[in-house]
Structure 1
Amino acid sequence: MSTEPTGLRESKKRETRQLISDHATRLFLRQGFEQTTISDIADAARVAKKTVTNYFPRKEDLAFDHHEEFTAGLARALAGRAPGETALAALRRDFLDAAGRQDPVAGFAGPAFTRMIADSPTLTTRLRDLHDLREESLARALAETTGAAGDDITPRAAAAQLGAAHRVLFGRIQELTLAGRPPQEIAALVTEDATRVFGLLQPSLGNYAPA
C-alpha cells in the first residue's frame, strides 16, 4: 500500500498528464495528427503506451485535452447567469468575454493548431462531435432550469439554436485564423459578428429561461 500523501499523488498525476499532452501536441504539430502514433507519444514522454491511454482513452483527447471544459461550457454559462438574465443574454455575454480573453477553448488556438485540425479528418469529425455534446449538455441544463416536462421539445430546440450560434462563431474564428489574421483583429471581428448572430435569436429566445 502506498503511503504517499493523496495531494502529492494527485499532483504527480496532473504533471504526468500535462507532460503527455505537451509531447503529443508537439508531435501533432510537427508530424500531423494522423501520422503520429500512441507509441510515438509514449516514447517522447518516456512512459508506457498504457500510461498514455490511461490518461487519454482516445487519441483525439490528446489534441482536444480541454474537451470536458468545452462540452460543459454552455451549460456552465447558463448556470452562472445573473438574476433575471436570460439564457440568450448569459451565453452571449460568456462568448464575448471569451473573445475578449482570446480563449483557446473558444477557438483562439493559433494558426498551427487550427491548421492541424483542418488537415485531419479525424479531428474535424471529433470537433463536430464535441459541438454536439456541448449542445446536448445545454439542452439538459435548460430542461432542468425551466422545469420542462420530459416530452417538451423546447429545451432541445433552444439549445440547438444557441449551440448553432456558438458553432458558427467558433468556425469563424478558425476561418480568420487560417486566413492569417492576428488574434486581436479576430477578437474584434467576431465581437461584431456575435452581435449579429445573437441578435438573430433575440425575437425567439430573448425572454427564454431567465434566472
Structure 2
Amino acid sequence: MVEGLRERKKRQTRQHISDVATGLFMERGFEAVTIAEIAEAAEVSVNTVYNYFPTKEDLFVDREEEVVDRPSRLVRERAAGQSAARAIVEQLRRDIRERHAYVGLTEGYDRFRQVMTESPSLMARLFTIQGKAVNQLGVTLREETAAAPEDPTPEFVAHQLVGLQNAVQRCIMRGLAEGGGVDEVAEDALRKVDVMESLLSDTVLNYAAKNTP
C-alpha cells in the first residue's frame, strides 16, 4: 500500500516529537523533562504530543510494539525444521555478535540504559513490555502448534524463552554498568547464552519445530 501524504505527514510528526523527546531525556533524564518542554522544543502543542503519545513513557519506548512482537515474529518466520527455541536463541546470538541495539551493545546505549534504570516508571514499563512479549509469544506458539485450549504448554514455553532473553539482556546491562568493555561483555553474554540453552529441556528446545514442505 502506498503511503498517502496525510499518513506520511503524521508519521514524520510522530518521529520528530519522539526524536526531540529522546534528546531531552538523554540530556537531562526522564523524570526532569515535562511534556510541556517537549512540546515547546518540538514546536507543537501539548495536545499534539498527547495525540501521538498518550503517556510520557510512550515517548521513551516508542518502539514498544516492535519489541513486544519480535519473539513472535522470529517464531513465525523460522526456517523449516527449526524449533521456536532455536529461532529465538540463534537470533539472540546474532544480536550479540553484531552488537545490536536489541541487546544494548550499540554505541550510546550506556546513557539510554542509565536514563531507564534511574526512572521507576520506566523500569515498571519495561517489566510490562516483557510481560506483553510473553503473552504474545504464548498466543503465537498456540497458533503454530494448534495446541488444545486446555494445554498450558505454549504459555510455559513462552515464559522460558522470553525469560532467557531478558536474563541475557540484564547480564549485558550489568556488565556495561560495571565498566566492562563492549567486546568483553559480548563474549561473556555468548557464554551465558550457551549455559542457559543447556538448561532448557529437550521438550522446550524442540517445541514447535516447523514442518518441512
The TM-score normalised by the length of structure 1 is: 0.92
The unaligned stretches of length 5 or more in structure 2 are none
1:192 alignment partner in structure 2? 191
Does the 8 A contact of 1:33 with 1:116 survive in 2? yes
1:146 alignment partner in structure 2? 145
Q: Which among 89, 92, 111 is matched to residue 89 of structure 2?
A: 92
2:160 alignment partner in structure 1? 161
Aligned-pair identity in percent equals: 36
Residues in 1 aligned to 2:125 and 2:190: alpha-carbon distance in whole angstroms: 26
Question: Is 1:68 aligned with 2:72?
Answer: no
Residues in 2 aligned to 1:12 and 1:191: alpha-carbon distance in whole angstroms: 42
Give the paired residue count.
207
Residues in 1 aligned to 2:206 and 2:129: alpha-carbon distance in whole angstroms: 27
Question: Is 1:21 aligned with 2:18?
Answer: yes
Residues in 2 aligned to 1:161 and 1:74: alpha-carbon distance in whole angstroms: 12
Residues in 1 aligned to 2:53 and 2:146: alpha-carbon distance in whole angstroms: 36
1:1-211 superposed matches below 5 A: 7-108=4-105, 110-211=109-210
**Greater Cα offset, 8-17 or 158-167:** 8-17
Residues in 2 aligned to 1:128 and 1:170: alpha-carbon distance in whole angstroms: 13
For residues 21-65 of structure 1, what are the alpha-carbon distances to aligned partners after superposition, in whole Å with 9 as ceiling and x for unaligned? 111111112222112111111011010111111111121111111
Structure 2 CA distance for partners of 1:18 and 1:183, relative to 1, 3 Å: farther
Does the 8 A contact of 1:66 with 1:105 survive in 2? no
Which amino acid in the other structure matches residue 161 of structure 1? Answer: Q
CA RMSD of aligned residues (A): 1.6
For residues 145-204 of structure 1, what are the alpha-carbon distances to aligned partners after superposition, in whole Å with 9 as ceiling and x for unaligned? 010111211101111111110110111121122223333333222122111112211434
Structure 2 CA distance for partners of 1:61 and 1:101, relative to 1, 3 Å: farther
Residues in 1 aligned to 2:138 and 2:179: alpha-carbon distance in whole angstroms: 35
Structure 2 SS opposite 1:129: helix
The unaligned stretches of length 5 or more in structure 1 are none
Does the 8 A contact of 1:176 with 1:186 survive in 2? yes
**Greater Cα offset, 100-109 or 18-27:** 100-109
